[in-house]
Chains A and B, each alone.
Chain A
Amino acid sequence: MIYVLILWLVQDLLQVMLMGFCLVPEIFLLSLLFLALLPSSERKYDERLFIVIAFAGGLLWDLRWTNLPGLTAAINGFLLAAAILVWYKMPAQGRSVTLFSGLCGAMQVLSGLIHCFFWTVSSGVAARLFIVQQLLGIPLIIFVTFIYWKVWEKHV
Chain B
Amino acid sequence: MQTMNRETRVILHGIGSVLLGFAVFWFMMAVPPVRYVCIDGTNTLLYIPEWPSMALRNVLKYSSNWVLERETLHERVSKLEAENQKMSAALQLTGAKPAVSAAMFIPARVTLRYPEEWWREIRIDKGRANKVKEGAAVTSDGYLIGRVTRVGAHYAWVELITSASFLIAVAVDETRDLGVVNGDDKGNLALLYIPEDRKIKPGMNISTSLMSDEIPPGLPIGTIIAADKVKEGFVPMKVKAGAHLTQMYNVEVFSSGAEVSK
Q: List A residues at the B interface (Cβ < 8 Å).
A: 9, 12-14, 16-20, 47-48, 51-52, 54-55, 58-60, 63-71, 73-78, 80-82, 84-85, 88-89, 118-122, 125-126, 129
Contact = CB atoms under 8 A, between A and B. Distances in A.
A83 to B, nearest CB: 10
Contact of B10 (A19, A63, A81, A126): A81
20 contacts: A16-B57, A20-B249, A55-B17, A63-B38, A64-B43, A65-B112, A65-B114, A69-B24, A69-B25, A70-B25, A73-B20, A73-B21, A74-B21, A74-B25, A77-B17, A81-B15, A85-B11, A119-B118, A120-B185, A120-B186
Contacts of A66: 114-116
Task: Classify chain B: how many residues form its interface, as a range.
Answer: 35 or more
Given A55-B17, A63-B38, A69-B35, A20 B113 contact: yes
A120 B10 contact: no
Interface in B105-119: 110, 112-119
Given A68-B25, A73-B20, A88 B9 contact: no
A85 B17 contact: no
Contacts of A48: 9-10, 13
A9 B49 contact: yes
A52 B9 CA distance: 12
Nearest to B118: A121
Q: A-side binding surface: helix, strand, loop or mixed?
A: helix
B57 A17 contact: yes
Interface centre among A9, A13, A82, A126 (most CB of B within 10 A): A13
Given A65-B112, A120-B115, 19 more contacts: A9-B49, A13-B49, A16-B50, A17-B53, A17-B56, A17-B60, A51-B10, A54-B17, A69-B24, A70-B25, A73-B21, A73-B24, A76-B17, A77-B18, A80-B14, A82-B14, A88-B7, A120-B186, A125-B118
Nearest to B60: A17
Given A17-B57, A77-B21, A120-B185, A51 B13 contact: yes
Contact of A120 (B42, B57, B117): B117
B21 A12 contact: no
Interface in B81-124: 110, 112-119
Given A17-B57, A67-B116, A78 B14 contact: yes
Nearest to A52: B13
A65 B112 CA distance: 8
Nearest to B119: A120
Contacts of A12: 46, 49-50
B39 interface: yes
A67 B186 CA distance: 17
A153 to B, nearest CB: 25
B154 to A, nearest CB: 16
Contacts of B6: 88
Contact of B14 (A19, A20, A85): A85
Contact of B24 (A64, A65, A70): A70
Contacts of A19: 57, 112-113
